[in-house]
């Protein structure tokens, strides 16, 4: 028996409605997915735009930094050229004014050193300038005044001959003699030569920085010398900008010796009222016995103490045959 016609019609209608509902759901789901995809696409486009903006900003910053670096490199190159020209200028001035058989000028590690034999500067065992020494220092002062940015260490050196008994009350050892000679030269350069005290420092190395063999008279003559060394600003020993000083200068020696261990040596510190850079170190050899150092009698402030390793532009030791020099005089 067949189904009534109405039932078939209702079943067909229901099937069509279910199919329409399914199709509607599928369409809605796809529309929803499409909306999500569009939203994600918009977010991705926005993120890409931000990335482009960040990249443009970083690119601009890097270009700016690169330009600054190029400018700094160019400035350093120009400074180097100016420095080289200035160095050649004062070296030429020094050579033209000073070079002679008793005055040698050398360039070592970028530092110009003028070495003056002690027989030109001082009598044997003394620290009072001779007329010939004053004449040489006046020429040095003339060059230094033309180059006011130069920083100079005046360094006293001796041979290894002990002090005479009669002079030991003033100079117990070659340290004191070399220091006193360096200070005498500094005082003359400032007081009589008119050099700005802030350009100068005084250093005494005694017998411990020889450039020749002390076993021969010729070698000892080469070792007894005053060295005037141009040093870079960073090696001067003070970051502070010195204040102006009066034309009348005063130098006083601290009556104390600061002892360090045997590997460092002994440093005798000398205070100078010339300027922060005008200080004197007297450095002992590394094998100095700790018991030889004197006790410290007075406290020292930070400005009183200077490291014992003041730079020296002296050339390395040479044999007596390296250079012809006049016969030696007794220290």
List the CATH number of the domain containing 139.
3.30.1330.60
**What is the biggest distance separating any 2 CA atoms in the chain, rounded to whole angstroms?**
156
Could you tell me if residue 38 is inside a domain?
no
Mean pLDDT (whole number) for 16-26:
86
Based on the fold, state whether residues 93 and 103 are members of the same structural domain: no
Residues 72, 189: one domain? no
Considering the domain architecture, whether residues 94 and 106 belong to the same structural domain is answered as no
From 56, 71, 98, the end of a domain falls on: 98
Domain boundary among 55, 76, 98: 98
Co-location of 247 and 129 in the same domain: yes
Q: Does residue 91 carry a pLDDT above 90? A: no
Shared domain for 154 and 175, answered yes or no, is yes
Lowest mean pLDDT across 106-120, 207-221, 256-270, 287-301: 256-270
Domain membership of residue 40 (yes or no) is no
Range scoring the smallest mean pLDDT among 19-23, 109-113, 306-310, 311-315: 306-310
The arithmetic mean of pLDDT across residues 251-271, rounded, is 33
Whether residue 280 lies inside any domain: the answer is: yes
Per-residue pLDDT at 276: 38
User: Is residue 92 in some structural domain?
Assistant: yes
Read off the pLDDT of each residue in 241-245 and give the average, rounded to a whole number: 46
Query: What pLDDT was estimated at residue 107?
Result: 82
Final residue before a domain boundary, out of 76, 98, 120: 98
Check residue 18 and give its pLDDT. Answer: 87
The whole-number pLDDT of residue 10 equals: 85
State which residues form the domain around 55: 46-98
pLDDT of 331 higher than 60: no
Are 165 and 118 in contact by the 8 Å Cβ rule? The answer is no
**What is the Cα–Cα distance from 243 to 220, expressed in whole angstroms?**
40
User: Do 181 and 86 share a domain, yes or no?
Assistant: no
Give yes or no: residues 84 and 214 share one domain.
Answer: no
| Same domain flag for 58 and 87 | yes
Do 196 and 56 sit in the same domain of this protein?
A: no
Per-residue model confidence (pLDDT) at position 236? 58
Instruction: Answer for the pair 227, 113: CB distance below 8 angstroms, yes or no.
Output: yes
Written as six digits, the tokens of 163 are 């002090």
94 is a domain residue: yes
What's the chain's average pLDDT? Answer: 75
Contact 331, 224 (CB under 8 A): yes
In a domain, 331, yes or no: no
Q: Is the pLDDT of residue 282 over 90?
A: no
pLDDT confidence of residue 310: 42
Q: What is the pLDDT of residue 266?
A: 32
- The count of domains in the chain is 3
In terms of domains, do 215 and 77 share one? no
| 41 within some domain | no
Tell me: do 316 and 227 sit in the same domain: yes
Question: What's residue 299's pLDDT?
Answer: 37
Looking at residue 197, what is its pLDDT?
A: 95
Residue 35 neighbours by CB distance under 10 Å:
10
Four-residue CA torsion sign, 108, 191, 127, 310: negative
Say whether both 179 and 69 belong to one domain. Answer: no
Give the pLDDT score at 237: 56
Tens-place pLDDT, residues 187-230 = 999 999 999 999 999 999 999 999 999 999 999 999 999 999 99
**Is residue 330 included in any domain, yes or no?**
no
């Amino acid at each position: 028996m067949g189904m009534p016609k109405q039932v078939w019609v209702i079943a067909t209608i229901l099937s069509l409605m279910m199919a329409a509902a399914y199709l509607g759901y599928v369409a809605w789901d796809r529309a929803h997915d499409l909306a999500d995809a569009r939203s994600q696409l918009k977010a991705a486009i926005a993120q890409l735009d931000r990335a482009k903006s960040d990249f443009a900003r970083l690119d601009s910053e890097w270009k700016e930094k690169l330009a600054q670096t190029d400018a700094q490199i160019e400035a350093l190159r120009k400074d180097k050229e100016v420095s080289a020209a200035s160095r050649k200028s004062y070296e030429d001035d020094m050579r033209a004014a000073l070079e002679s058989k008793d005055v040698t000028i050398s360039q070592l590690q970028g530092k110009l050193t003028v070495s003056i034999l002690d027989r030109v500067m001082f009598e044997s065992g003394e620290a009072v300038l001779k007329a010939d020494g004053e004449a040489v220092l006046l020429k040095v002062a003339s060059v230094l005044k033309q180059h006011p940015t130069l920083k100079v260490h005046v360094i006293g050196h001796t041979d290894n001959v002990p002090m005479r008994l009669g002079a030991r009350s003033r100079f117990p050892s070659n340290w004191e003699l070399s220091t006193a000679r360096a200070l005498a030269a500094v005082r003359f350069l400032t007081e009589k030569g008119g050099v700005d005290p802030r350009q100068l420092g005084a250093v005494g190395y005694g017998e411990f920085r020889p450039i020749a063999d002390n076993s021969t008279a010729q070698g000892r003559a080469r070792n007894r010398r005053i060295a005037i060394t141009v040093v870079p600003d960073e090696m001067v020993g003070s970051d502070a900008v010195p204040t102006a000083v009066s034309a009348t200068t005063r130098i006083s020696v601290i009556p104390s010796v600061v002892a360090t261990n045997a590997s460092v040596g002994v440093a005798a510190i000398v205070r100078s009222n010339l300027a922060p850079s005008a200080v004197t170190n007297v450095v002992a050899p590394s094998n100095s016995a700790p018991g030889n150092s004197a006790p410290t009698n007075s406290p020292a402030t930070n400005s009183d103490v200077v490291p014992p390793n003041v730079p020296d532009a002296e050339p390395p030791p040479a044999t007596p045959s390296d250079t012809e020099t006049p016969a030696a005089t007794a220290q």
